Structure 1
Amino acid sequence: MKTFFRLCFFSFLSVCVPSLSSAQKSGTHIPDYPIRQGVSAPFAGFVDSVLIVAGGCNFPDKPAAEGGKKVYYSQIYSLTPGNTSKQWQEQTPLPIPVAYGASIETKDGLVCIGGMNNDSTSTAVFRIEISHSNPETVLISNLPSLSVGIDNAAAARIGNILYITGGNQPQQKKALYMLSMEQPESWKKLPDYPGKQRVQPTLVGTDNFLYLAGGFAFDSTTKTCTLSTDILRYDPSTQKWSVETSIPPYPDNTPRCLVGSSGVAYGNYLIFTGGVYAPLFKEAMEGKQDDQYLKHEPTWYQFHDDLIIYHTTDKSWKIIPHVAGMAKAGGVLLRKGNTLYMICGEIKPGIRTAEIPVISLSDLLK
């Protein structure tokens, strides 16, 4: 499965409220990402007020539909949003080119975990920090490596504890791993999440719980793709998983799978967006699409452009449809204060974008 997924995944790839046009117009402009054509599946996050983006991959010479070769990047760029005199600054690169890893914002820096490139799956864990002596530059330090290579997983933080789960693990395992930043000696294996494997899920941490949303499993023997359309909750105090809720379907009851999606916490809210359209993705993974699959216009693939918002206390959903710039797979959704940032991603299988939409959260959750 892993080999097939590496070649194909990103190459294949309730209440309605008014649109966000006024909120979008009030957002802070971000210059396009400096890597030509943008990247998918990078590490990304804020360190204090500085936006850091690292790694990722794209097809720089020819599109995937024309047999282009996927290139992985080690570049790190930084930018301070709102500072109009600044542009993206290239920093010291990562030790290896890598994409499809997971990243977590911490008070000490952006932690980058696992991932893969053309050569291997990574066990490496790095922290990208802002230099105290020169705030214009970043430093890279090593943290304890994972015991196994993991790619296309998801990571989140509760307090000073880092977690990673889902994705491609050896033997299609479903382990949850944690690392304490107070004593970062080694990653500890915690209970597996229940049910099917979840590749490309979203993991969001709140003050007390982890929420694991979506993902897919692929059985290479039967060539069957199974999509997870629910959200699991992990309680660190009991070390137990439970089913939290189902992801609301589209208005025509087509399921949402949250594969290649991204999410953030905002108080008692979980905000998800982006990712693939379940029926088309399932057909592609199961080999039921024809040789024209990669050659359609972006709108044909129906990548998610809704914000779907879950209230963890009320157990209720709000759906804000058709938000400009959110229809991406492999993008990274970030929140800084009351503002959302969608970092790069692909707008159709194999075609990335350098645009970084910015959305104000003012009036969004009323």
Structure 2
Amino acid sequence: MKKFQIAAIASIFIVGGFMGLNANANKSESGKVSASAVQHANSIERITWEHAGELEAQKGFEENIGTAGVLSGSFKDYLIVGGGANFPYESVLNGGPKKHYSDIYVLKKENNQLSMVEHTNLDHEIGYGSSITTKKGVYYIGGSPEEEYADDILFLTIDKDKKLKVEKIGDLPFTISNGIAVEKNGKLYIGLGQQNGNASNKIYEYDLKTSKTKELAPIPGESVRNQSVAQLLNGDLYIFSGGGSTAYTDGYKYDIEKNSWSKAASVEADGKEISLLGANSVPLNKHEMLVIGGFNKAVYDDAVEKLGTLQGEELAVFRTQYFNADPQEFNWNKEILIYNAKKDSWRSIGKIPFDAPCGEGLVLMNKTIYSINGEIKPGVRTNAIYSGTLLQH
């Protein structure tokens, strides 16, 4: 084993490149970065972060510049991540084409370090699908630039020879990307995002035993809801934020048994509403989820409006300033947020000590959380992986 070294204008951001870190940013001499902390009894109090390395270059490339919209999950002691997209040939400002990847990396934590177990390739490129980690394996739904594969349901496990096993276990009756998915009792709950290339607020139930798909009650509110965060908590589906021509901060609870929706607490911390558009999440326990990332609503809304209305020289000047700005100027969400479904409330346990990512892989393995790649400003990714140790009060 080799040591791991380690529709519309809104689509410019969500599908095209609003979704990336200096690998050594914020590191101390010991290699660790500062902790995020807050007191909260009987739950996560803080996370101590450290830089965990980078992914090796994709097949056919000399360098990995990081990807967003990745497949990510875990199976037993293995971390699985891959696919995603970036702009390797030319910047977004200069009209560079977006590139998706078929590379999948299997990693394992040994002696407090990640080691590469396998680097392999699918037979097609993937990105911006939905990943679900279960005890049996990792599901990956939709998410491919190739229409033939954009309705696939894949299932990933690791065999006894430590090799990645990828099975296609079903087809949806529609293609999907930038959506959400959770699993409960052998059924997948899938929806939102782009369905058959069009923005949708529809939700479906896919039965893994019968391969049948059933349409459910659509989510209330906006008819366009890309890149929301969603988790199964206390047996119900919770969906927060997302966006279209504007970024949202609202939340909804779906009662699976009753096929009905109700409002959940809007996303906020310290009295300030926060957009989670482009963020990622992991379940902490039966009733809590943790979220990292999210575009800044004011910056996002302003950019979408100006990119859609300005013309000529004014548009060229704005584009140049916008895409050349530093990551900090976009003010993406650095708060580490925890939602408690039992209390229907949000809280922050501090801030991540690295540039806020969007479209990153987020994987929880035991008491360690991994933030993998992602975008740190429009069109720019990071290849950094950060590991955080969850500490309880």
3-state DSSP of counterpart to 1:286: helix
Matches within 5 A, 1:284-303: 284-288=303-307, 290-291=318-319, 292-303=321-332
Given the superposition, is the C-alpha separation of residues 131 and 236 from structure 1 closer, same or farther in structure 2, using an over 3 Å criterion? same
The reply on whether 1:281 has 2:310 as its aligned counterpart is no
Partner of 2:182: 156
Instruction: Give distance in 2, aligned partners of 1:8 and 1:246.
Output: 23
1:140 aligns with 2:166: yes
Counterpart-to-counterpart distance in 2, 1:247 and 1:84: 34
Provide the rounded CA distance (Å) in 2 between the counterparts of 1:280 and 1:120: 36
**1:78–1:89: 8 Å Cα contact kept in structure 2?**
yes
Mapping for residues 263-274 of structure 1, pairs under 5 Å? 263-267=281-285, 268-274=287-293
> Where do residues 298-337 of structure 1 align in structure 2 (5 Å cutoff)?
298-325=327-354, 327-337=356-366
Secondary structure, counterpart of 1:360 in structure 2 = strand
Cα distance in 2, alignment partners of residues 21 and 172 from structure 1: 38
- Asked whether the 8 Å contact 2:246–2:297 carries over to 1, the reply is no
Which residue of 2 is the match for residue 107 of structure 1? 135
Tell me the matched-pair count.
346
Q: Are the structure 2 counterparts of residues 48 and 243 from structure 1 closer, same or farther at C-alpha, using a change threshold of 3 Å?
A: same
CA distance in 2, matches of 1:316, 1:343: 27
Instruction: Tell me if structure 2 keeps the 8 A contact 1:153–1:201.
Output: yes
Within-5 A mapping of 1:216-235 = 216-217=243-244, 225-235=245-255
Q: What pairs with 1:1-366 in structure 2 (closer than 5 Å)?
A: 1=7, 4-9=9-14, 10-12=16-18, 17=38, 23-25=47-49, 30-35=52-57, 36-83=64-111, 87-117=115-145, 122-132=150-160, 134-135=161-162, 137-170=163-196, 171-181=198-208, 183-196=209-222, 197-217=224-244, 225-248=245-268, 253=272, 255-267=273-285, 268-288=287-307, 290-291=318-319, 292-325=321-354, 327-363=356-392, 366=393
The answer to whether the 8 Å contact 1:164/1:178 transfers is yes
The 10-residue stretch of structure 1 (191-200 or 44-53) with the greater mean CA deviation from structure 2: 191-200
Q: 1:326 to 1:166 in 2, by over 3 A?
A: farther
CA 22–260 in structure 1, closer or farther in 2 if over 3 Å, else same: closer
Bigger proportion of residues as strand: 2
Amino acid aligned to 1:32: E
Deviations 1:186-212 (A, max 9, x none): 332222111112111011112411110
Give the structure 2 partner of residue 220 of structure 1: none
* Contact 1:55–1:75 (Cα < 8 Å) also in 2: yes
Return the structure number with greater relative CO, CA threshold 8 A, min gap 6: 2
Deviations 1:10-31 (A, max 9, x none): 5235xx837x998425x6x633
Distance 2:147 2:13 in 1: 16
| SS in structure 1 of the partner of residue 124 of structure 2 | coil
- SS for the counterpart of 1:310 is strand
Write the letter of the residue equivalent to 1:185: S
- Call closer, same or farther: CA 1:51–1:166 in 2, change over 3 Å: same
**TM-score, normalised with respect to structure 2:** 0.81
For residues 220 and 54 of structure 2, what CA distance do their matches in structure 1 show?
40
Secondary structure of the residue that 1:356 maps to in structure 2? strand
Contact map agreement 2:109 2:115 (CA 8 A) in 1: no
Residue type at the aligned position of 2:68: S
Q: Deviations over 1:158-179 (max 9, x none)?
A: 2432222221124533211222
Q: Is the 8 A contact 1:54 1:94 kept in 2?
A: no
Letter in 1 for 2:253: R
C-alpha distance in structure 2 between counterparts of 1:142 and 1:118, whole Å: 15
Runs (5+) with no aligned partner, structure 1: 218-224
Taking structure 1 as reference, are residues 237 and 32 closer, same or farther at Cα in structure 2, changes over 3 Å only? same
Give 1:259's aligned amino acid. Answer: L
1:248-297 CA distances to partner (integer Å, 9 max, x unpaired)?
Answer: 1565x4x3121001112212212112021111111122235712111011
Unaligned stretches of 5+ in structure 2? 1-6, 20-36, 58-63, 308-314
| C-alpha distance in 1 between matches for 2:45 and 2:220 | 40
SS of alignment partner, residue 74 of structure 1:
strand
Please state how far the C-alpha of 1:94 moved relative to its aligned partner. 2.1
Identity score, percent: 27
**Which stretch shifts more, 271-280 or 75-84?**
75-84
TM-score normalised by structure 1 residue count: 0.86
* 1:261–1:273 CA contact under 8 A, matched in 2: yes
Alignment CA distance shift 1:245-1:31 (3 Å): same
- The alignment partner of 1:362 has SS state of strand
1:72 maps to a residue whose letter is H
